[in-house]
Amino acid sequence: MSDRIEYDVTLVGGGPANMALAYRLVQLTDKPIKIAVLEKAKDIGGHLLSGAVSNPRVIEKLFPQWKTDGFPHQGVCSESYVSVLGPRRLENVPSLLTPPYFKKEGYAILNISEMCAYIADRITEAAAAKDGVVVDFYPGFPAQEIVYDGDRVAGVKVDDTGDENADTLYAKVTVFGDKGFVSRDLVAKRNLRKNPQVWSVGVKEVWETSENYEGKVWHTMGYPLAPGHLGGGFVYGQKNNRLVIGMVMGLDFVNPNLRPPQVLQDLKKHPFMQEMLRGGKLLKYGASVLPEGGLYSLPEKFAVDGAMLVGDALGTLDVKRFSGVDKAMESGYQAAETIWEAHKKDDFSASGLAGYQSRLMAGWVGLELKDSRYFRKAFTDHPKLLEIFIPRLAAAVDSGKSVVYAGLQAGMADPFGSLGLLSARKMIENPSDIGRAEYKEDRTHIGKDYADNRKISEGYAENTVYTTADVVFYAHTHYGEENRHIEEFDAAVCRDCIAVFDAAGKDTPCVGDCTAEVHQTLEKDGARIHAMALENCVQCTTCEIVCPKTNLRVRAALRGYGPDFSGM
């Protein structure tokens, strides 16, 4: 690509939101339209990682026969559990006490990498059947920079040469579905997000097991997370004896050394997990961040002149319901409806695209995000829920108590505190309007004096548990020697940060929270310096989020470099 290239629509990212958008837009069109899809992985789906057990409500709109027409689901949930873990035992919360939004029976079990590759093929087929409809996929060409015409978004550059016209895709509307690699620049330039996004990091492994657990789903609380740390585990049984095991943990936590891959290994040490993994084989490892701020971290405007935000760029994930894929796809679906109307009128101004925001927020996405708007705030306002109640609940379960008895025992141990728990439950279950939830950036929660006193399960099989250095092999990363996709702005700032955490006996957060042993501290000329093994990077952006001095920036790697999450 060297000359000026123009499209009607350019989609940044080949994730669920943009794939739903492109497919719906091709369905709608009855006049010529040109669409480009930019994807940083070498193949569509190659960098996509999610749980995922998803409500199929958008899939059903796009593919009504999805259960039988070859749509690549990995099963349908037949049994779902919310489980409390201590280091030795697991107890499932009784179904009668489980909130309905935690029950996943009937939901699709997905590998979103395979799902998006499948939808891309269906887009190509549908476009070929319509005159004048062009959809060009550009895998290995990530957007690197937003191009403006005054205040209007005019397109994106897909290289790093510095040549203003080289490898730039111009479009009437550019839709950002990326996880912040370039969309953050638009958000910052237009001051669209008044409240910071709140992030978690998810780490995940796919196993081949000796037994079949297809259709069975567990979401766990308690072990192995430390008191006060919001997050939990998940186990999804898939077709063909595949088992997904993962952990999601908030990045707004005091511990500067979370070591996410090792927390996942700690989960796998639990006897319940060991029983499923016995005789199994690790196939894949990956990590990704999740935007969990919900309603109050959404941008004030979802569209500006020449651009729209969908999916993770928008922040539609609903952590209360574990609902991310369906809401991302719905954002793309509704964006397609708006783009089609704008295309017919040739009006891609902010006012011409404004119907997208009202349409999305008036529908079930907006209603559910409003219902879950205080989920995060409940844990912030009532820290005893995570610091005392859940650890006591897990300890009681570990001693052999039932979940019901353990819950009563944990509450009775602190009756006054239990009143706060009732208030927290009301904020989660049936919230009254108490005003806007305000968040701080995740990095501001990090301290240097944290002591990790977790009790870890023992008696596990060594061949089921890996060091971080070993498990990264299963992310199948590939980079050229010239790759430099993480920028360190000022080496002196890193040296100062290292000195502060060294004095406390800790690693810096970029090292201690890394999901792939990218960041390191080394001795050089008598000083401690920051170094990076970029060949390990899975492009999760955790390091940028937790850097106390905002001294790092992760950019999308060029030429399809990075992990291979196909099948994840």
DSSP assignment of 474-496: GG--B--TT---EEES-HHHHHH
Which pLDDT score is estimated for 412? Answer: 59
As annotated, the residues of the chain forming the CATH 3.50.50.60 domain(s) are 5-66+112-195+295-371
d(CA 544, CA 201): 12
d(CA 358, CA 364): 12
Which pLDDT score is estimated for 407? Answer: 74
Percent of the chain with pLDDT over 90: 89
Candidates 201, 121, 44; CA nearest to 541 is 201
Which pLDDT score is estimated for 525? Answer: 85
Which pLDDT score is estimated for 410? Answer: 62
d(CA 446, CA 302): 31
Helix (H) or strand (E) holding 119: helix 112-128
Which pLDDT score is estimated for 408? Answer: 74
Residue 514 to residues 203, 340, 408: CA-CA distances in angstroms? 11, 42, 38
d(CA 255, CA 245): 23
Token readout for 363 is: 């529908």
Provide the CATH topology of domain 471-554: Alpha-Beta Plaits (3.30.70)
Residue 503: how many other CB atoms lie within 10 Å: 9
Token readout for 170 is: 């111009």
Which pLDDT score is estimated for 162? Answer: 55
Q: Identify whether the C-beta of residue 419 lies closer than 8 Å to the C-beta of residue 426.
A: no
Which pLDDT score is estimated for 1? Answer: 44
Cα-Cα end-to-end distance for the chain:
31
3-state DSSP of 419-463: HHHHHHHHHHHCCCCCCCCCCCCHHHHCCCCCCCCCCCCCCCCHH
Which pLDDT score is estimated for 425? Answer: 86
CA 78 distance to own-chain centroid: 25
Map residue 128 onto helix, strand or coil: helix
Spans in the chain with pLDDT lower than 70: 1-2, 160-166, 409-420
Predicted structure pTM score:
0.95
Which pLDDT score is estimated for 418? Answer: 58
d(CA 566, CA 177): 19
Provide the CATH topology of domain 5-66+112-195+295-371: FAD/NAD(P)-binding domain (3.50.50)
As annotated, the residues of the chain forming the CATH 3.30.70.20 domain(s) are 471-554
